[in-house]
Structure 1
Amino acid sequence: MNRHGAIDIDWAGGSHTFRLGLDQIEELESAVDMSVFLLHAAMSAELPFARIKHYSETIRIGLIGGGMKPIEARMLVKRYVDERPLMESIALGQVILRAAMERVHSAALEEDEPGEQQAPKSNASTSAPSVAMPS
């Protein structure tokens, strides 16, 4: 994961970049009619109360934010989320959202660029777990 919230994951037969920047977070909030903070809580709960759409939209919009064309992202989500066992998408959706939340909320920046301020460091781990998704 880099400081912009992008994360590369092997999924759907290849390596894909997922990223939820601020524009994508706003799109995700609109698509699921829920704040990203509540969505994160829903996906992170011991007994998740997120809906299927929450995972599929997080994955789809994350692919688009990572540089994939919207139609290609929709096709991958249809094939590898909508048409596969639902449990396969839970960890992927959680990791994509966690990468975005840590970038937006509390991740320490690796390097300062001109005009950037460094975010405060937290005691929480800021690296996303390694996730191997079925192909």
Structure 2
Amino acid sequence: MADLSYTAFFGDGDHTFQLTKPMIHELEKQCGPVGALSNRLFARNFAQADINETIRLALIGGGIAPKRAHELIVAYVDGRPLIETYELAAKILERALFGNPHGDQASAS
């Protein structure tokens, strides 16, 4: 089975991010089709909600409680420069779309 999770430092420590099927469904309700969202993000033609919701829902899919995921977004995404979280959101979507085809390490620093 493909590894769709991604572990990275975010805010207060290392967290696992994964867009599970239910989280992708929720992301699509918030931001539209995941393919269109990915195209916007990869082309750097995204909305703030694309980044926030991708990270928040991937935290939940990775095992964080919804309330805690919201708190992390408020503390470490809202009001920060977009580039600080753009790369994380892009990596989460990349992993959800393509898995880890080369077996690269699941985490980043």
CA RMSD, Structure 1 to Structure 2 (Å): 2.1
Moved over 4 A (4+): 125-131
Residue 92 of structure 1 contacts residue 131 of structure 1 at CA under 8 Å; is this kept in 2?
Answer: no
Residue 7 of structure 2 contacts residue 107 of structure 2 at CA under 8 Å; is this kept in 1?
Answer: no
Shift of 1:84: 1.7
Larger radius of gyration: 1
Residue 95 of structure 1 contacts residue 129 of structure 1 at CA under 8 Å; is this kept in 2?
Answer: no
For 2:71 and 2:82, the matched residues in 1 are separated by 16
Instruction: Determine which of 59, 63, 73 is the counterpart of 1:63.
Output: 59
Amino acid at match of 1:12: G
Q: Tell me the matched-pair count.
A: 109
The verdict on how the C-alpha distance between 1:59 and 1:77 changes in structure 2, with shifts beyond 3 A counting, is: same
For 2:98 and 2:37, the matched residues in 1 are separated by 14
Q: Mind listing any 5+ residue stretches in structure 1 that lack a counterpart? A: 109-124
TM-score by length of 1: 0.73
- Give the structure 1 partner of residue 42 of structure 2: 44
Q: Does 1:72 align with 2:68?
A: yes
The verdict on how the C-alpha distance between 1:44 and 1:3 changes in structure 2, with shifts beyond 3 A counting, is: same
Identity of aligned residues (%): 33
The verdict on how the C-alpha distance between 1:98 and 1:128 changes in structure 2, with shifts beyond 3 A counting, is: farther
Output one character per residue of 1:6-59: Cα deviation in whole Å (capped at 9) or x when no partner: 111111120000000111111100011x110111111111xx111000000000
Shift of 1:128: 7.9
TM-score by length of 2: 0.89
Q: How do residues 1-135 of structure 1 correspond to structure 2 at under 5 angstroms? A: 3-32=2-31, 34-45=32-43, 48-103=44-99, 127=104, 131-132=108-109
Residue 18 of structure 2 contacts residue 62 of structure 2 at CA under 8 Å; is this kept in 1?
Answer: yes
Shift of 1:83: 2.8
Q: Mind listing any 5+ residue stretches in structure 2 that lack a counterpart? A: none
